[in-house]
Amino acid sequence: MATNNNDNATTMKVNVQSPNIRYTDETIEADYEYDNVKCIPDDKTNSVKVYPMRSVITFRTERRIPRTGLMMIGWGGNNGTTVTASIIANKHRMSFMTKDGEVKANYFGSITQSSTIFLGYDAHGKELFIPMKDILPMVDPNDLFIDGWDISGMNLADAMKRAKVLDINLQEQLRPFMEKYRPRRAIYDLDFIAANQENRADNVIDCQDKWSQVEQIRADIRDFKQQNNLDTVIVLWTANTERFSDVIDGIHDTADNLLAAIKRNEKELAPSALYAVAAILEKVIYYYFYCNNDGFNLSAPKQFRSKEISKSNVVDDMVESNQILYGQGKNHPDHTVVIKYVPYVGDSKRAMDEYISELMLGGKNTIVVHNTCEDSLLASPIILDLTILAELCQRVTFKIHNHSKF
């Protein structure tokens, strides 16, 4: 899917007048003073020696924006179809009527596209804010090329209808564009995906040899890149949550062992790992992001357990960072995650969080938060941000002061 930039927003060029910033036709270089501290605990004296440190780091950003492609695993799911629809709708400046009035296509929810940065003050003392996307040369989402894989072979227009995310008036405008696109065949392993997804699985790679599957994904990436004359490709997982994978010595511990395990067709290798390996071997970026169709998928116990573990890791970090509250043999705080599938609410997810904390002298404090969000409309702008910032980071190099090479 190729697009061009039809954004009608004004682009503001930023030119910093400073000896610490250097512009050429090819690059922007910026010197940054980074303050840090080195801490040396002394258990004998129960003290910490703190040494302030300052480093001068030079960042170099290539100004040329490459032709960039995004390949989504789970392209035919709620997130994949919504991301694709948002790009088409913005490119063609679509608008549609709802009961609340006219809605014009936008990228609300995207940090890069809909947030501003405080730059400074003008000659009259007025604060000046500029769009974040103008601070450095970034890919415009309207210029992204889109492709991907899905276990369902449904064209994206029908997949969009199945997702029930977008207003029907917008869907009708998008259908002629969306129905042209069909996902590539995907890796499908019933051991890692919930059995309730089996009815969708009509577009899978037939071969069950894992190394052959990796080679097929690599061939798909090369084909997409060649067809669209792309400079860079970003691969992003937005398919269903997999069950938690056991980390096994001799399989997952080193790159060489992982490659050998794939060639041996080891069982404990998730499809997401195979996509990641294929992307790395093709020298493209791979990210594991938000998952599609999560409510239905997570009604399966193994898939729910995977989500429960990832959410519980937040508590582990909190405990490790505060020895006052959680040191001296105090117990790990209780943390319970419950996810229920309610078909009626569809993509409009409900989150009910209750936090109970201890106050001084035995008191208790309870905070209850209720959040209702349209999940894919929340996730899709973040997918675009991740893609845009991942591409930008490929063009940024740095060196420490007095080093000769970036």
Task: Write the CATH number for 263.
Answer: 3.40.50.720
Residue 3 in domain? no
Residue (of 108, 113, 109, 105) closest to 86 by Cα position: 105
| Residue 329, domain extent | 307-374
Residue 89 in domain? yes
Return the ∠ at Cα 209 (arms to 205 and 215), rounded to 5°.
70
- Say if residue 222 is in the same domain as residue 341: no
H or E element in which residue 358 lies? strand 348-358
| Residuewise pLDDT in 10s, the chain (406 residues) | 544 444 445 577 889 999 999 999 999 999 999 999 999 999 999 999 999 999 999 999 999 999 999 999 999 999 999 999 999 999 999 999 999 999 999 999 999 999 999 999 999 999 999 999 999 999 999 999 999 999 999 999 999 999 999 999 999 999 999 999 999 999 999 888 877 788 889 999 999 999 999 999 999 999 999 999 999 999 999 998 888 888 899 999 999 999 999 999 999 999 999 999 999 999 999 998 766 555 555 545 555 555 555 666 677 777 778 877 777 656 677 777 777 777 777 777 788 888 898 899 999 999 999 988 888 999 999 999 999 999 999 999 999 988 889 9
Residue 53 in domain? no
Residue 280 in domain? yes
Please report the pLDDT score of residue 184 as a whole number: 98
Residue 45 in domain? no
> pTM for the whole thing?
0.87
Please report the pLDDT score of residue 4 as a whole number: 40
> How many distinct structural domains can be found in the chain?
2
- Say if residue 263 is in the same domain as residue 137: yes
Residue 260 in domain? yes
- Say if residue 209 is in the same domain as residue 163: yes
- Say if residue 212 is in the same domain as residue 355: no
- Say if residue 200 is in the same domain as residue 279: yes
Residue 155 in domain? yes
Half-sphere exposure of 100 (CA within 13 A, CB side): 3
Report the distance separating Cα 216 and Cα 184, nearest Å.
10
- Say if residue 335 is in the same domain as residue 202: no
Helix extents (H) in 241-400: 255-263, 271-281, 294-297, 301-321, 323-326, 375-394
Report the distance separating Cα 330 and Cα 324, nearest Å.
10
